[in-house]
Structure 1
Amino acid sequence: MNHLTSKLLGLLYILPLVFAVPASQTPLSVGILDPYPDKPKITFREDGSFKITVLSDLHFGENPWDDWGPEQDRKSLVLLRRVFREEQPDYVVINGDLVTGENTFKHNATLLIDQIIGPINEAGMPFSSIHGNHDNQRNISHMQEIQRELKVAKRTYTRAAPKGIGGEGGEGNYWVPIYKCTDDRIPVLILWFFDSRGGESLGENSRPVEDWVHPSVAKWIRSEVKAMKDAWGSMENVGALGFVHIPPFLVRSLQANLNSTVSPGLNADHMGDGSSQREGKDQAFWHALTTFIPNLQALVSGHDHGNEWCARERKKGVVFCFAKHSGHGGYGKPDWGFGVRNVVFEQFDTTSTFKTWIRMEDGEKKAILNIDAAFDP
């Protein structure tokens, strides 16, 4: 082999890593395990910490024909700007029900995404979205919201699942790697995002959409974790955090035996109200989530506006947390208030402990928890 041939072969080896296809089309099987080759790596701070601020149930776009609805959205934007300014998160998660799709106008529904993303764009923070039952309605769909977000936000890491994964109305299944530093090949944290669907199909002849994570996601989880292990080897030091809008059916039993001392926070909403979710429908997802994802620290849900607690599911040992109703739209009661959930990892430790709390609109911190192996309500 002459020198020129050797150089050409070497160039062919590195070309897939340099000239990568778009994230949504990147096949993990060819050895490119970073699904965002065209975006900056998200990293921990130099002091070893990483803060995630979780928004949930913003419910923009209600009553666009009068003054009440737009005023609620204005209040929500004030909350977002204040939280971002004072919390300075490293990453933002929007945990479903961005828009009340059955209540807004169809002709400009996607422009509500521009409003929601505005404060995040202003702050220049990386973020991701998942979508809820109100984001699938006759005037809006999950895919429309994903496409709009990708168009108006440079720092979004939201992406659509591969074709055939997620079922009807459930396109938002993906994961985001978080690294210790930009030079690292292997992340220290994986953020997993799952689409629980729900609501109705788009259009005038809309029909109900199943409100649980589709069984195809279970197979996808197994294949993605296998690809990670094939590329990275041991995942012993790689933590994971999951997000889904509608709580899995099997965590409903936690509420009946909740210890408010160990699991502080508002507990005013009966889990499952207003949902057609039936027992066993998301069992394949729950099994894959709790069996195959290494070092899963917690699963965070929204949907129930009056809940903001964390508890450990005993059978699988997974911590389940509610986010906090963040938007002034959507149902609620005056004493419930509005806020966000913060999750903080420290000392680059993503596999054994994290801190979390609810931060209210006025800056109050409540339901403060150190989640570790001893957390056992």
Structure 2
Amino acid sequence: MMDNDDIVLKPCHRRAAGDGHEAPPLEHHDDSDEGPANTACTPLPIAMVFLAIASVLFIALPSTQLRVPVIKSSSSTSRANRQVSSPLAFRPDGTFQLSIFEDLHFGENAWDAWGPQQDINSVRVINTVLDAEPDTGLVVLNGDLITGENTFRENSSLYIDQIVAPLVAHSLPWASTYGNHDSDYNISRLALLAREAAYPNARTTRMVLNDDAGVTNYFLPVYPSDCRVEPSCTPELILWFFDSRGGFQYQERNASTGQRVGQPDWVDHSVVDWFYQTNAVLTQRAGGKPIPSLGFVHIPTEASRALQQNRTGGIDPRRQPGINQDIPVSQQGQGWCADGRNDGTCAYGGQDVPFMQAITSTPGFMALFSGHDHGNTWCAKWDGLLPGMTVKGNGVNLCFGQHSGYGGYGSWIRGARQVVVTRKKLKKLEVHTYIRLESGKVVGAVTLNATYGKDEYPITPDDRTRCMTCLY
């Protein structure tokens, strides 16, 4: 065990990655560049870790407002006075609600009439859900905001403006993870982060500066409603955001083949180290008591695949209600070999084992929410050692959301997972969650508690929708 003063983040280096198998990106023909260049990383001593945590825990964000295009909404007036730059906090009634949108896939085929129509319909979904969920305290954009292989370098990050316009109209803060489609030859994660940072509503940030780590690795504290943002305030909930990376390197091609350069698609080991260190500091600041937490990552872990495929009974439609049609789950490390090769000869390389060990060994870590598989919307409790696994579950819940955008594959009805946390239920590490559909209906309402997986719930219908204005 290292002493606190000896803990540093790993220095920057770029890990070699094989080429992927996605559609080729659009080319460009100028010398312009998008987004900030990667800066050199330096070791981060534990004193700076404390300083970084303190800045998140106890310093309010600036309240400068930015003029942005907004989309009118019936709820925007009632939320107009909300201080979106203030720290996240439970409502006076003791509740905190998150709306999770994932796999929006903006920017597909912008040169065809149906491409922009998909995005217009995706904006409609966001507005419809938020109008129906007026108690939302934070919106989570859980990866694949944009279909990067279809974008031009000159404007790829500008889709952020269209995505967040409904959130600005509703006076809501948001936090993002980036997915595999958010990195490609013409689009970079750093450019997306810079675009989000122009909005005071955005809570997306970067806390691990290792080039290998991806970008959206950070945490957000949620305080009691009466907190005045003083050092004496202790968060009652921690929201962890992890970057599972994937996709392709920005403006890089293989010198021999001319193909795009692929990126690893799992949570990097340096992020796991940061998570352990940072959680230890937060626990210490809370007097040694673990703070309940939730996690968000775009690509699910091998444990989700094992729950679906290897466990006796698999996903039961009454005990784990939800759509279960992406079979098998596409997990982190899919198609990679244990030795780091990505040549199509291996099914899974096990690179997400350290991440799975981290979430199962962290007291109070209640659930991990993923996207990526558009045809899966269930939650399952990972309890015990599953066949084929080396990591034993501790009861953490692994959940998918709902495909939210009209971009991306599949015609499953669009919607967004809702997560409702109450100060009372946190004492028992319980969370209520359901999916709000674009139709206005609620499906898959469950309580993630000690008996989840044994209790029975209504079966989630397999409803479908199509873009009526797209004229494919």
Alignment deviations for residues 10-46 of structure 1 (CA, whole Å, 9 cap, x no partner): xxxxxxxxxxxxxx99934249634162322111111
Q: What residue in structure 2 maps to residue 291 of structure 1?
A: 361
**For residue 38 of structure 2, what is the aligned residue in structure 1?**
none
Q: Which amino acid aligns with 2:269?
A: P
Secondary structure of 2:250's aligned partner:
coil
Equivalents in 1 of 2:445, 2:119: separation in Å? 28
Three-state SS of the structure 2 residue aligned to 1:171 is coil
Percent of aligned positions that are identical: 38
Distance 1:271 1:132, change over 3 A: farther
Q: Distance in 2 between the 1:331 and 1:225 partners?
A: 36
Corresponding residue SS for 1:138: coil
Q: What is aligned with 1:341?
A: 417
User: What are the equivalent positions in structure 2 for 1:1-377 lying under 5 Å apart?
Assistant: 27-30=48-51, 33-35=54-56, 37-39=59-61, 40-88=86-134, 89-151=136-198, 153-164=199-210, 167=212, 170-181=214-225, 182-183=227-228, 185-203=233-251, 205=253, 206-236=260-290, 238-256=291-309, 257-273=314-330, 275-276=334-335, 278-292=348-362, 294-315=363-384, 316=393, 317-333=395-411, 336-351=412-427, 352-376=429-453
SS at match of 2:181: helix
* Number of corresponding residues: 347
Displacement of 1:347: 4.0
Q: In structure 2, how many angstroms separate the alpha carbons of the residues matched to 1:230 and 1:189?
A: 15
CA-to-partner distance for each residue in 1:328-375, whole Å, 9 max, x for gaps? 000003xx1100000001244325211111111011111110111111
1:146 Cα deviation from its structure 2 partner = 1.1
Maintained 8 Å contact 1:128/1:157? yes
1:311 Cα shift?
Answer: 0.4
Q: Quickly say closer, same or farther: Cα 1:190–1:32, change in 2 above 3 A.
A: closer
Separation of aligned partners in 2, 1:107 and 1:41: 34
Say which SS state the counterpart of residue 299 (structure 2) adopts: coil
Deviation for aligned residue 1:229:
2.2
Q: Distance in 2 between matches of 1:296 and 1:226?
A: 13
Aligned residue in 2 for 1:16: none
What is the TM-score normalised by the length of structure 2? 0.70
Partner SS state of residue 398, structure 2: strand
Render the CA deviation track for 1:267-286: whole Å, top value 9, x for unaligned. 11124459435231011111
Contact 1:33 1:231 in 2 (8 A): no
User: Which structure: greater helix fraction?
Assistant: 1
Q: CA deviation at 1:234?
A: 2.7
Check conservation: 1:271, 1:304, Cα contact below 8 A. Answer: no
Gaps spanning 5+ residues in structure 2: where? 1-43, 62-85, 254-259, 337-347, 385-392, 455-472
Q: Structure 1 stretches of 5 or more lacking a match?
A: 1-23
| Alignment partners' CA distance in 2, 1:355 and 1:272 | 24
* Cα distance in 2 between the residues matched to 1:100 and 1:219: 30
Alpha-carbon RMSD? 2.0
Cα distance in 2 for partners of 1:54, 1:70 equals 23
**Which stretch of structure 1 is more off in the superposition, 309-318 or 127-136?**
309-318
**Alpha-carbon distance in structure 2 between the residues aligned to 1:273 and 1:196:** 12
Query: How far, CA to CA, are the matches of 1:286 and 1:185 in structure 2?
Result: 30
| In 2, Cα distance between equivalents of 1:285 and 1:32 | 21
Does the residue aligned with 1:226 lie in a helix, a strand or coil? helix
Secondary structure of 1:42's counterpart equals: coil
2:7 counterpart residue number: none
Q: TM-score, normalised by structure 1?
A: 0.87
Tell me by how many angstroms 1:322 deviates.
Answer: 0.1
Distance in 1, Cα, partners of 2:350 & 2:219: 25
One-letter identity of the residue aligned with 1:326: S
Give the Cα–Cα distance (whole angstroms) in 2 for the partners of residues 108 and 261 of structure 1.
45
Rounded Cα–Cα distance in structure 1 between residues aligned with 2:89 and 2:353: 33
